[in-house]
Amino acid sequence: MTTPPFVKFPQWRKALVACGLGWACSWSAAEITAIVAVEPTAKKAAHTILRSTMETSLGKAAGQTTSVTVSDDLADVMRATRSGGYDVFIGPAQVAASALDRGYELVGANHKSQKYVLVAAPTATAVEALKGGRLYLPQQDSIYTYMARGMLNEAGLSFKDLKQVQYEKYPQAGLTALVLGSTDATVVREDDWAEWSAAQPKAAKVLASSQPVPGGFTVVVKKELPAELRSRVAQWFTSASEPAGLAPATLKPEAAQYKRVAELGLFTPVALPGVQRVNAKEAQQLQGQGALLVDTRTEKEFRAKRMKGAVWAPYIEKSLKDVAFDPAADDFSALGKLPAKPMVFACNGAECWKSYKAAKHAAAKGHKNVYWLRGGLPEWAAEGLPTEKD
């Protein structure tokens, strides 16, 4: 069997194919590919990585030839996580989060989790006040941009609502830009903000803060690698990586932190104009008064577990998960079959946009008494309210 020239396989996979065909094979002949993804805002970290030392030392520990790439082109690295382009990714939280969603497992992180803050000029009153303003950020796939998108979305804003989003390289320079009046807001690490604001206490103010996300470098390894090989690779990164300029990845951040990073910018706003937001207990009370609990999730999800008494009206979502979504791209046909009664829309929680969009569409079409249970089924279940399944 001949592999077409345009199909590229990692060396270890070629060896596995050879073994399957009965050819003489040895894992020592395979090659491990790894990439160190460096935030463009962390050039110092890039300079500490000794690529050749890592190749030699990791290769010896794994018993295989190892190829290491170092890159600060995060857009390219993120594409590689989606295509499984490397056996090992060493990078910031958003790189690891993307890979963990696509067949990789966590080895560990080498820095404590940290928060980010959205900082604005002293005259700014709230995140919502940034509409039509200017935002300074590092490159588009940096962790700072992820944090900014998430905090804006929480307040019901999109990058599309801003006059300008300026992408540069160094986040601390955004604080200087604020002082100079060339931007209206920026995002920095909480620790950097604390140090800067102590020296300039009235130069800017915090409008929003993120949840903690894994700091430093996180190491993930492809699950398709043989278990023994994954174990040797993990052991090297947790105990023997320091001579190569990489602090040991001994910390184990919670999976929820990576999940949150993967979803940043995808969280629904905390409010929806024209629609009343309710909590789970209020939703149950409305149901008792005759309102419909409308579940907009997939049929599989609905059958597996749902709020007791909920009706299924699937919302086929193709538009962007953004407050500025295009409703013409979506299929609302199931909503048109609902009776003219008060409705409470729900789906899978704050990161699920289906109920947000469905509620907004229903209100726009003239339905009265439209409610939105932002916490969805997770909040309903957490409150101990009754659920059912097929």
> For 130-164, how does the pLDDT look when each residue is reduced to its tens digit (9 = 90+)?
999 999 997 777 888 889 988 998 888 888 899 99
Hey, which bits of 27-149 come out as E strands?
A: 31-37, 65-71, 88-91, 104-114, 116-120, 134-137
Residue linked to tokens 């932190």: 257
Q: What is the set of domains in the chain, with CATH numbers?
A: 11-112+215-263 (3.40.190.10), 116-209 (3.40.190.10), 276-388 (3.40.250.10)
User: Residue 318 is encoded by which pair of tokens?
Assistant: 């193709």
Q: How many residues does the chain have?
A: 390
Report the pLDDT value the prediction gives residue 43, as an integer from 0 to 100.
56
Q: Residue 176 and residue 5: Cα distance in Å, rounded?
A: 51
> Quick one: tokens of 204?
């800017």
Q: How far apart are CA 342 and CA 347, in angstroms?
A: 17
Start-to-end CA distance of the chain, whole Å, equals: 47
Q: Report d(CA 250, CA 111) in Å as an integer.
A: 9
CA distances from 63 to 9, 28, 29, 375 (A): 19, 6, 9, 49
Axis-axis angle for helices 93-100, 143-154 (nearest 10): 80
Parts of the chain with a pLDDT under 70:
1-29, 40-47, 265-266
Tell how strand 88-91 and strand 306-307 pair up: unpaired
Instruction: Report d(CA 341, CA 125) in Å as an integer.
Output: 38
Interaxial angle between packed helices 190-199 and 172-180, expressed in degrees from 0 to 180 and rounded to the nearest 10: 40
